[in-house]
Amino acid sequence: MVQFYSPNRRSVNRGIISVTADNLDAQGQGIARHQGKTIFIPGLLPNEQAQIQLTEEKRQFAKAKVVKRFSDSPHRVDPHCPHFKVCGGCQQQHVATELQVNTKASVLEHLIQRETGVSISSHPIIHSPEYGYRRRARLGLQYHAKQRTLSMGFRQSQTNDLVNIKRCPVMRPELEQLLQPLHQCLNSLNAVKRLGHVELVLADNGPLIVLRHLDPLKREDKEILRTFSVQYHVAIYLLGDEKSLEPLMPGQPAPWYQVDGLKLVFSPQDFIQVNDEVNQQMVAQALAWLDLQPTDRVLDLFCGMGNFTLPIATKVQTVVGVEGVAALVASGQYNAQLNELNNVNFFHENLESDIHQQPWAAQGFNKVLLDPARAGAAGVMAHIVKLAPEKVVYVSCNPTTLARDSKVLLEAGYHLVSVRMLDMFPHTGHLESMALFSSGPMDIE
């Protein structure tokens, strides 16, 4: 048999080694050093000693699993969730909240310092409740023909298999209490074999469910769902394909949430921030940083349905929101009218294309807010510099692209005044943040 040599393949030493973790990364993995190499070890906390076995080895680092732990950190806590270690949703429920948030803050500060040369604190942290914070969750549905039963839950870590979720302590209690009766309801449908996923959302006016079904539902199944809807006081929407969302019962009130005293109506398919408490604090912090005045002209890029745009409009001369998703723009326009805000203009534009020909780009603004997706805002940073606003607030779900885009502003003479770490997703590796830049002298908050 011919054997081929792969220069990129490295053998993994299966021997057992003993280490002491000296740090934690943003994903909740312990970090240890052995013979000059960094080793990442899920489940190990700083100052804990353990025997480990390497599972993957690269030139600069390795990954390992714990074989036996010899000591416990004072920051180790008992997870609240019975599915912890199996479900891929939360990785850090064994880590005390203080260590979780301080680790993420340190990672954010390190990235900014490494990429920009600016040393800055990301404290005070914008905190979240430890549990019961998630007001939106999508669960997969998987029918098992042999067992004749339905699994409903999240993916297992590093697999496509579902964990059948009976409890989820990070969900808002109003949603968590629906899990078991909803599973029983869906398992009783004739269409149980042809269901895609189910999404639970808690609006301020009550919970709702979006059910993705791959075939048209028969009358009997719709009747079962109506009974569930009435019994549990939950609005149900049916999603036959990605564009055919319809309420199960005509006349269902549209969902809405409040932010900064405004009422924002949304479609069940619209993006809204998962963590309402952090969202309220985030919006308040952004408005305070912008130091809004009645004469201001504000630009809100990647504005969604106006989560920042509409609160800004209550305090300034005019605000323009630009967003690439047409449905969100329509929601923003509707909510501007609903809240009687006449100084708001929304534009549906692709901010990753040539923005210079877009109609909003010809206008002048003295303050800018942007909230891009994980890819960041490379396509608009040069235009922001051209606008020469007094202040820029950048809200980020990816510290790497925040650090990258920050360099454009710093090279143009802006100062990085403040940074905040947002604990938007406790017990996970997601790191949300926001930063304030000023064109004037270094401000003091």
CA distances from 303 to 172, 253, 273, 349 (A): 26, 25, 12, 11
Angle at 347 between CA 344 and CA 351, to 5 degrees: 130
Contacts of 144 (CB under 8 A, 6+ apart): 150, 151
Specify whether 185 is catalytic. no
Q: Using DSSP, how many helices (H) and how many strands (E) does the chain show?
A: 9, 22
Of 238, 397, 403, 436, which residue is the catalytic one? 397
- The reply to whether 87 sits in an annotated binding site is yes
3-state secondary structure of 246: strand
In the numeric block, which tokens belong to residue 147? 């067992």
3-state secondary structure of 136: strand
Question: Residue 259 in contact with residue 307, Cβ under 8 Å?
Answer: yes
CB neighbourhood size of 84 (10 A): 17
In the numeric block, which tokens belong to residue 206? 């009550």
- The reply to whether 78 sits in an annotated binding site is no
Contacts of 138 (CB under 8 A, 6+ apart): 197, 198, 199
- The reply to whether 60 sits in an annotated binding site is no
Name the pairing type of β-strands 367-370 and 136-144: unpaired
CA-nearest of 189, 307, 204 to 257 is: 204
- The reply to whether 273 sits in an annotated binding site is yes
CA-nearest of 362, 410, 348, 358 to 379 is: 358
Long-range contacts of range 169-173, CB-CB < 8 Å, 24 or more positions apart? 169/80, 169/81, 169/131, 169/132, 170/81, 170/89, 170/90, 170/131, 170/132, 170/133, 170/134, 170/426, 170/427, 171/132, 171/134, 171/137, 171/200, 172/132, 172/133, 172/134, 172/135, 172/202, 173/132
User: What values do phi and psi take at 15, rounded to 5?
Assistant: -70, 160
Question: Residue 418 in contact with residue 436, Cβ under 8 Å?
Answer: yes
- The reply to whether 168 sits in an annotated binding site is yes
The sheet with strand 235-239 has its strands ordered as 162-164, 149-155, 136-144, 195-203, 206-213, 235-239, 245-247
- The reply to whether 302 sits in an annotated binding site is yes
DSSP symbol at 87? B
CA-nearest of 229, 224, 225, 183 to 208 is: 229
Question: Residue 399 in contact with residue 424, Cβ under 8 Å?
Answer: no
In the numeric block, which tokens belong to residue 378? 């490379």
As annotated, the binding site for S-adenosyl-L-methionine includes 273, 302, 307, 323, 350, 371
Task: Please give the annotated binding residues, written as ranges.
Answer: 81, 87, 90, 168, 273, 302, 307, 323, 350, 371
Q: Please identify every residue annotated as catalytic.
A: 397
What residues form the annotated binding site for [4Fe-4S] cluster? Answer: 81, 87, 90, 168
